[in-house]
A and B are shown apart, each in its own frame.
Chain A
């Protein structure tokens, strides 16, 4: 990689921080427009009920009320669409019931929106919403995916038999896998739940929409991860208004974690109503609303079996998963438990036969969609739990069994990629390397001695491993299209060189904590040899940039950064022609380095700034060249990227209470080339904390009536500062062979690797004390661990 200015690989402090630490960040709810009005939603308190009547008579006369809309008012408008298609095994298209902007006939989950009140103030809107009288007729409820497919289960949608959205499989045939299992000396099998998670970005969802009558144009400010995608879906698929008459702005966004990637009904409703009301309308979710209306994550019920020969070599893997999709399909909903889950079942191992079978199911619960990692944490949890458990059951060492099964190292350039049984071609990897590094950081031999000593002293000490791989850099459009994506997944990057040589970069990705304004500027500074202060990164405004697919799937640097590099290359190429003309040389003889165009082998040179000025003041200029120095590129990757790594957790379990103390957490991540090590480390930290959160603290708990019983920050337990140790992190670097930056993506790695490492460590600790427990349902609360110990034979 070029390091002309030496900016790549440096922990440059973030340029965006100053505004955030001084309170000058501009999040959607911070924006108050002239004549601002406020919306409040009437939401269903029931998980499943027929709407008998909605009476807005009393509410409409309340002070300050401007309008009230119900399901009937929006019946003619399309629902919010799903961006991915999954097919049944027989080729039939998945069931895709309408997800209406407001419900008219029956509510299908607690929080389903029934009416929207618009008033002059937030308080007036809320007061009036309480006066909207809705008569419900309660219906039977189903919340669990495996229950929902059984005959006689309540039907969420009349036209979706047995609540089955799709029934999908991938890999080798069942017969092949069955045959391979027959030859297994040992089969480890596990039935488990990957519990439902709630992303809980600290900034609640917030939207502010207005209609400019003079230009017949709509503007929507939205706390989103993908403004252009929202514009496309909302204008073309929901509201049927011309795309060029809609501007979508994603200003500073207070965390996304997947839940802000969806196109939400509230976005379309506010935009639609802003024209009718004739004033800007703002809505910001209260946290209790976020809990029932933000897309949630995970929620699988799975049975998996892994067959081994007597040496511990994996022969086959069989997976059956019921994936809860919630009451409707989210934007990415059906892709998560299929294309982002089934395709990862190879893991890091040479498993020759794999069959994964997934049934997507509707239930009377909030929509399930992408949550950090999205599908890949579920796959990794399955594989890493199985292989660790197999080691315990077979009396083997969990590190040794992995070394036996790893795909050997390959760089993807001199050796080809690795073709999996489940549709992916891994780009490059050195899987042994990350485990070796992790073991050395842990001091593995020493640890096992300590563990034996702990056992002698009546303590339960355990270590858990997780060696993971993920598919990131979403995504090659052709592959994504073949998989069912209804959009391309390339990215746009524009480099606008100003006449003075300052540079403005427009990217179609969107930062909501990832620090793109710094990382991307480092890439540009490095390649153009100009100071970072001369570069501005602009994102998040559909009127400023040509297009964009947004930020999710750890794609921004690998795909969005590569698009910027393409444009930089074009700037340099044109710059060479301009410089050659000025210096009376051949363009072919020009070279560009350190911000200067030089005639090879001479001291004749011209600075980048002078070339920029010449491009805009083209008095002495090549006849066949257009003025200006401004390029837009679209980068469509040729493959996914495949970051991987090794996470290791050390825990001590209290024998008396079952309390788990996380003593050490080691993360060795290979995310390809690194532009800013400080930012990558920060991404890993945050991901690891969320992964540990799933293992030990978090999980949505629906009761049999479909009520989310822990719908507040008091009840939904997220990790706090004193729940976590100092993480020990490092990197291995195996460059991505197919993008110009060699980057693979770092946003989700932590979440993917951490969860099984922690659970495996608890299981290991219990086994060390003679409790041969196979599984404990996450989160591993003291009570659950204690009960598991009591139930096991000691």
Chain B
């Protein structure tokens, strides 16, 4: 089946098998390997991308279901070579160790901070519920998100 998608601002048209998962399309066809597969069953969140701005577990969607959609992956998060506030936050606050779950968490939190720009610690922990990280114990992930929230707030205020 033919699909047309826009991924990180670039238009693509491909013929794909109907059973091809979106995550395999992104990784194998477009070679965007920043999106990872951890559990194949939409529980760990490593495969999270944004489909039309909504954080979506890309192992839970067929590529054909994304036809006509605009998709953002972790590779599309930074602009002009500058790290996104969340990417910077994770680096500054040691929010990652092996880095495997990180891209998915970044994509979820990017959407989350747009919905809730002033989250409490408890709200961030709740917002991370769809993700598993086996390395960090989450504490520094929470701090990384707080860092990003603060930075984004400062950027919004005109000097």
Contact = CB atoms under 8 A, between A and B. Distances in A.
B52 interface: no
B128 A720 contact: yes
Nearest to B138: A721
A721 B38 contact: no
Interface stretch (A76-84, A485-493, A624-632, A683-691): A683-691
Contacts of A719: 137-138
Contact of B134 (A13, A27, A253, A686): A686
Contact count band on B: 35 or more
Interface in B26-62: 27-28, 31-41, 43-44, 46
Contacts of B138: 689, 719-721, 724
Interface string B108-152: 000000000000011011101101111111111110000000000
A750 B139 CA distance: 14
B96 interface: yes
B152 to A, nearest CB: 16
A678 interface: yes
A113 B37 CA distance: 22
Given A682-B136, A685-B139, A722-B125, A254 B36 contact: yes
B128 to A, nearest CB: 4
A76 to B, nearest CB: 35
A718 B133 CA distance: 9
A512 B140 CA distance: 18
Contacts of B32: 23
Contacts, number: 183
B121 A726 contact: yes
A201 B27 CA distance: 20
B100 interface: yes
Given A21-B102, A204-B37, A722 B126 contact: yes
A678 B98 contact: no
Contacts of B126: 721-722
Contacts of A688: 137
Contacts of B91: 13-14, 17-18, 21
A679 interface: yes
B40 A288 contact: yes
B40 A690 contact: no
B140 A713 contact: no
Contact of A712 (B28, B43, B78, B141): B43
Nearest to A726: B139
Interface string A677-704: 0110110011111100000000000000
B68 interface: no
Nearest to B19: A123
Contacts of B43: 712-714
Given A21-B102, A32-B31, 16 more contacts: A22-B83, A23-B34, A23-B77, A202-B133, A254-B100, A682-B94, A682-B97, A682-B135, A687-B137, A689-B137, A712-B39, A713-B39, A713-B44, A719-B137, A721-B128, A724-B139
Interface of A: 13-14, 16-27, 29-30, 32, 122-123, 199-204, 252-255, 257, 284, 286-288, 512-515, 678-679, 681-682, 685-690, 712-714, 718-722, 724, 726-727, 750
Closest 6 CB pairs of A and B: A23-B34, A254-B100, A20-B99, A689-B137, A513-B98, A513-B97
